[in-house]
Chain A
Amino acid sequence: MINILNLCVNYKDSPALDNISVEIKKGQLVAIVGANGAGKSTLLKAIMGQLEPSSGFIELGALTSKDIAYLPQSHKIDRKFPITVKDFISAGSWKRIGFWKKFSSSENELLKQALNKVSLEGFEERQISTLSGGQFQRMLFARMLMQDADILLLDEPFAAIDTQTTMDLMNVINDCQQQGKTIITVIHDLLLVSRFFPNVILLAKELIACGSVKTVMTGDNLSKAGYQHLAYISHTMDISTPLTVDSHNEVSSSLPKKNSTHIHCTNPAHYEEKIS
């Protein structure tokens, strides 16, 4: 369980998060939603302990920050660095092998399984610079799986990748949830959120709302979070449709085609200027 109480975090002397209180239970699948600059990434970094709260606190229960796997935004990664897919993913076993220890056969086995899950078999010796955007994102997921952690934090894992890859990786996330892992994901695409994430935290530096997707993603709340332009089309998103994620492993079938045309307009990144 992750218990966040009255959390305030300052970034370069201005408040990035203001008085956030949220409780995330073990095994939950949670989306963090908010406009640019709403403090989504800051919240992830605070949970990892990378940013010190200026007040309030975060409890991880019996777990520590060592039990957290993190998938950073891909644009912060040096994609031209001369390193193979295998070496890149092996960073996921840092906590077990550290500076020195050999990459043992059991680690190799884990690596194979991870590559298998994200459909990147046979890519071990490829240079990361040769991967497409989708393949690169699959590799990041493989590294996260290598970490074998109880809590997964993902920062915009589906930014700028195609629908097929998104669906494949959503399946990976659902697998992880079924193994009892707690998963918190920053997501820009509201359509994905309403389809696949049972729980939502809506941020705009302060907490706008949190809880089940139905109660949070209302026009009123979205408008408060800076999605004024969306409030009036929120009915087209058909939020009331029951989530099929828990009962079915395959999620790709549950993405309705008629709504997929809205994907581009539900991406708040396009409305950056308006909000700021």
Chain B
Amino acid sequence: MISNVYSLFIEPFSDFSFMQRALWGGIVLSISATPIGVFLTLRRMSLTGDAMAHAILPGAAIGFLISGVSIIAMTIGGIIAGCIVAILAGIVARYSNAEEDSSLAAFYLLSLAAGVLIISAKGSNVDLLHVLFGSVLALNNDALILLTSIATISVLSLTVLYRPLVFECVDPDFFKSVSKLSAIAHYAFLLLVVLNLVAGFHALGTLMSVGLMILPAAISRFWSEKLGVMLLIALLTSIISSYLGLFLSFHVSFATSPAIVLVMGIIYIVSLLFGQHGGLLSKKSHKLHF
């Protein structure tokens, strides 16, 4: 019995190095991206995150065009494209009369179309699938080093930025009055979002990488009203989903990144129904409504 459990849950990861790498990638990404995701949702910027994730695609595609499936070229391309769209979105929000959500939707459709066009002009369908949905089961050393470095940078920066970010989120007018760091905190945060999306892109692909940020954050909101606890819940959800996604992918041959995102999706739906804070069927939320 115990040996059965062992062979079911542990063996795939102890016997196959590609599974170990994938799990390592998932854990590192979870540590790095989920706190960013929590702040992203608290700032009601989920859609911005989604648009930026798509924006990385043409950048990575140009990297691919120049030097094939090269991690460095695609990373640099992705970061540049992500930053450009982050800045453009900021400018549009400030100076144009267009609603922010519709301009973001416009940006991400454009990016997706441009990216797919560039890749299919030179590469095969396999390359396209690789870019869109990632290849968490084929993470090589370079990719793992990149993911781990980005996670380190991200966690350290977020520790430094924590206080200003919180104050900027709750009461931006007040924070502007006490500190000139308001704009810096905002753009540094956007840069961290781009870095994490690029990291996520290598493992999960452009279409799925934002899922690792938004879904655990959305789930955590249903279970706690305390920021610290929310960060912890999001992290655990993300790690567990990564494990279960890989597990399903190994045993049932599901495509890996959709499997990971779908596990999160199921947890999200359960939280949506039974979550203690705002869950549809929870007693507390009924009290709030009536």
Contact = CB atoms under 8 A, between A and B. Distances in A.
B177 A50 contact: yes
Contacts of A70: 173-174, 177-178
20 contacts: A50-B176, A50-B177, A70-B173, A72-B177, A73-B173, A76-B171, A76-B172, A78-B170, A81-B42, A81-B169, A82-B226, A84-B226, A91-B171, A91-B175, A94-B179, A95-B178, A99-B160, A127-B225, A127-B226, A129-B225
Contact of B167 (A71, A94, A127): A94
B177 A82 contact: no
Interface in B163-204: 163-164, 166-167, 169-179
Contact of B166 (A48, A71, A83, A98): A83
B171 A94 contact: no
Contacts of A83: 166, 170, 227
B224 interface: yes
B120 to A, nearest CB: 43
A125 B244 CA distance: 36
A73 B171 CA distance: 10
* B interface: dominant SS: helix
Contacts of B230: 82
A62 interface: no
B170 A94 contact: no
Given A82-B42, A99-B164, 11 more contacts: A72-B173, A76-B172, A82-B224, A82-B226, A82-B230, A83-B166, A83-B170, A94-B167, A94-B178, A95-B178, A127-B226
A88 interface: yes
A72 B170 CA distance: 12
Interface string A61-89: 00000001011110011100111100110
Nearest to B179: A94
A72 B225 contact: no
A50 B163 CA distance: 21
B40 to A, nearest CB: 13
A146 to B, nearest CB: 11
A199 interface: no
Contacts of B225: 82, 127, 129
Ordered nearest first, which 5 A-B pairs have the shortest CB separation? A72-B173, A70-B177, A81-B170, A94-B178, A77-B171
A48 B177 CA distance: 7
Contacts of B169: 78, 81
A94 B178 CA distance: 7
A83 B176 CA distance: 19
Nearest to B176: A50
A98 to B, nearest CB: 8
Contact of B178 (A73, A78, A84, A91): A91
Interface in A81-122: 81-84, 87-88, 91, 94-95, 98-99
Interface string B219-257: 000001111001000000000000000000000000000
Nearest to A76: B173
B227 A82 contact: yes
A137 interface: no
Contacts of B177: 48, 50, 68, 70, 72
B218 to A, nearest CB: 13
